């Protein structure tokens, strides 16, 4: 394979261009990711938000080259900065390159369920050491052990010496997720993908794990892609947010922009369906209908079918990404010059005002 030289701006670590990916199923081709583009700078956290089946997890799997055999990248590229002067297109990498250059050493992932993510027959310490030894980050086993113990301490596990020798079943769910995080950090990756890392945990543990991830990012200045369906989590974690629906990014912007000035009806729906902080809601809003079947993706804006604000144009052709500001984009015809000036639902507006006050008073 001839090494083609790709270009990324120096502060940038990842750029995904027009990624289109489908799975061959028995009953047709499932268009799971449709023309997705986004980018990530060094030290930045991007949250990808969306409901189940929106394609958010598959996107990150594509970055790690973990697409199942029946999946196919039809179009697009994933540019990743391996080092200051080396950029690779991950859609074109072979397995060997992934194992040796990318996985573990440059990009690491935290899986959703810590109960199943660890090998039940191997002490956790060994599982942490493995990656470092494999990628030559340490010179000896003794050094690997020292570093693993330090890592265990860093992710907030007390008595690291004791835990090091224990097996996964001897640790609680929260501790296991900390171990998974330690494994992810073992080789000091540049990019950390957190695939719903708190979904399988207790609410009390969730907050601790989120704090830990935030804290780690501050200290190590790594880039994070944070996958979640929980908007509440996003608010505290992300610099930027991308909202995915039916395999597309429908709105993308700085966290504040997406939270306080959303423009896409789907984002409105998502935000409206959050329970309010005061807990006074009699009834929580839910978006009507269910996501479309992506074996037969609908024409136009996939959300139009569930939207109270759909325009005729939304059913006819794909809305392009309209720029709201330099950093804020959304794919809805509502932003077209010709569209009627629709405002976000009144209730949501009130709520956002309340959130702003709440947030402002904290700072």
Partner 1 sequence: MVKYVLKRLFWALVTVLLILFILFLLLEFMPGSPFNEEKLTVDQIRILKEHYGLDKPFFEKFWIFLVNATKGDFGISYNLQKNMKVSQIVMPRLWVSVRLGLQAIGLGSVMGVILGVISGSNQNNWKDSVATIMAVVGVSIPSFVFALTLSFLLGYKIPIFSMIYQANHPFASTILPTISLSLFTMAQVTRFLRTELVEVMDSEYIRLATVKGLSRIKILFKHGFRNALISVVTIFGPLVVNVLTGSLVIEKIFSIPGIGGLLVLAIQSSDYNIIVMVTFIYSVLYIAVNLLVDVLYGVIDPRIRVSKGA
Please state, in angstroms and rounded to a whole number, the distance separating the CA atoms of residues 353 and 274.
14
Q: Does 99 bind partner 1 (CB under 8 A)?
A: yes
**Least distance to partner 1, CB of residue 132, Å:** 10
Residues in contact with partner 1, shown as a per-residue x/- string from 306 to 335 under the rule CB under 8 A = ------------------------------
DSSP state of 337: T
Closer of 134 and 153 to partner 1 (Cβ): 134
Please state, in angstroms and rounded to a whole number, the distance separating the CA atoms of residues 124 and 147.
13
Q: Does 151 bind partner 1 (CB under 8 A)?
A: no
Of 3, 5, 94, 120, the residue at the interface with partner 1 (CB under 8 A) is 120
Q: Does 354 bind partner 1 (CB under 8 A)?
A: no
Q: Does 64 bind partner 1 (CB under 8 A)?
A: yes
Footprint on residues 155-214 left by partner 1 (CB under 8 A): 167, 169-170, 180, 183, 186-187
Q: Does 117 bind partner 1 (CB under 8 A)?
A: yes
Query: Please, which residues have CB within 8 angstroms of residue 17's CB and are 6 or more apart in sequence?
Result: 37, 76, 77, 78, 79
Total residues interacting with partner 1, rule: CB under 8 A:
32
Between CA 187 and CA 194, with CA 190 as vertex, the angle to 5 degrees is: 90
**Residue 2: count of CB within 10 angstroms of its CB:** 3
Closer of 87 and 191 to partner 1 (Cβ): 191
- How does strand 223-228 pair with strand 191-195? parallel
Closer of 60 and 332 to partner 1 (Cβ): 60
Q: Does 247 bind partner 1 (CB under 8 A)?
A: no
Of the candidates 224, 251, 249, 248, the residue with the CA atom closest to the CA atom of residue 238:
224
Environment class of 191 (CB within 10 Å of its CB; exposed 0-12, middle 13-18, buried 19+): buried
Closer of 107 and 263 to partner 1 (Cβ): 107
Q: Which stretch binds partner 1 (CB under 8 A): 35-43, 99-107, 156-164, 274-282?
A: 99-107
**Least distance to partner 1, CB of residue 31, Å:** 24
Q: Which residue matches tokens 């037969």?
A: 296
Q: Which stretch binds partner 1 (CB under 8 A): 40-48, 110-118, 267-275, 310-318?
A: 110-118
**What are the phi and psi torsion angles at 16 (to 5°)?**
-110, 125
| Sign of the alpha-carbon dihedral angle for 223, 228, 233, 234 | positive
Please state, in angstroms and rounded to a whole number, the distance separating the CA atoms of residues 261 and 258.
6
**For the packed helices 124-134 and 141-154, what is the interaxial angle rounded to 10 degrees?**
120
Of 74, 89, 134, 239, the residue at the interface with partner 1 (CB under 8 A) is 134
Closer of 78 and 270 to partner 1 (Cβ): 78
* Token code pair at residue 128: 């942490």
Of 18, 70, 122, 316, the residue at the interface with partner 1 (CB under 8 A) is 122
Q: Does 119 bind partner 1 (CB under 8 A)?
A: yes
Query: Please, which residues have CB within 8 angstroms of residue 142's CB and are 6 or more apart in sequence?
Result: none
Which residues contact partner 1 by CB under 8 A? 64, 66, 98-100, 102-105, 107-109, 111, 113, 116-122, 130-131, 134-135, 167, 169-170, 180, 183, 186-187
């Amino acid at each position: 394979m001839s090494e083609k030289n790709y270009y990324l701006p120096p502060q940038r670590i990842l750029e995904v261009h027009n990624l289109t990916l489908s799975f061959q199923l028995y009953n047709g081709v499932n268009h799971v990711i449709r023309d997705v583009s986004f980018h990530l700078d060094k030290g930045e956290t991007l949250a990808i938000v969306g409901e189940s089946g929106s394609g958010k997890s598959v996107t990150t799997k594509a970055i790690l080259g973990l697409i199942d055999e029946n999946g196919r990248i039809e179009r697009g590229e994933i540019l990743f900065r391996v080092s200051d002067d080396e950029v690779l297109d991950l859609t074109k990498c072979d397995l060997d390159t992934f194992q040796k250059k990318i996985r573990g050493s440059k990009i690491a992932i935290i899986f959703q369920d810590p109960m199943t993510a660890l090998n039940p027959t191997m002490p956790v310490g060994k599982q942490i050491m493995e990656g470092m030894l494999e990628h030559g980050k340490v010179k000896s086993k003794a050094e690997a052990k020292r570093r693993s113990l330090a890592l265990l301490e860093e992710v907030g596990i007390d008595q690291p010496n004791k835990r090091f020798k224990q097996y996964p079943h001897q640790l609680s769910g929260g501790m296991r997720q900390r171990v998974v995080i330690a494994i992810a950090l073992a080789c000091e990756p540049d990019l950390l993908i957190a695939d719903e890392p708190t979904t399988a945990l207790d609410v009390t543990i969730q907050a601790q794990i989120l704090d830990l991830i935030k804290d780690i990012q501050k200290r190590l200045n790594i880039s994070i892609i944070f996958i979640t369906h929980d908007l509440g989590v996003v608010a505290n974690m992300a610099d930027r947010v991308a909202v995915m629906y039916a395999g597309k990014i429908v709105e993308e912007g700085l966290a504040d922009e997406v939270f306080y000035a959303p423009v896409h009806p789907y984002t409105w729906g998502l935000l409206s369906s959050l329970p309010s902080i005061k807990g006074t809601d009699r009834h929580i809003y839910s978006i009507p209908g269910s996501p479309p079947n992506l074996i037969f993706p609908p024409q136009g804006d996939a959300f139009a079918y569930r939207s109270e604000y759909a325009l005729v144009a939304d059913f006819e052709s794909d809305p392009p990404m309209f720029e709201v500001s330099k950093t804020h984009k959304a794919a809805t015809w509502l932003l077209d010059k010709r569209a009627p000036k629709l405002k976000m639902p009144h209730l949501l507006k009130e709520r956002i005002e309340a959130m702003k006050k709440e947030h402002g008073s904290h700072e």
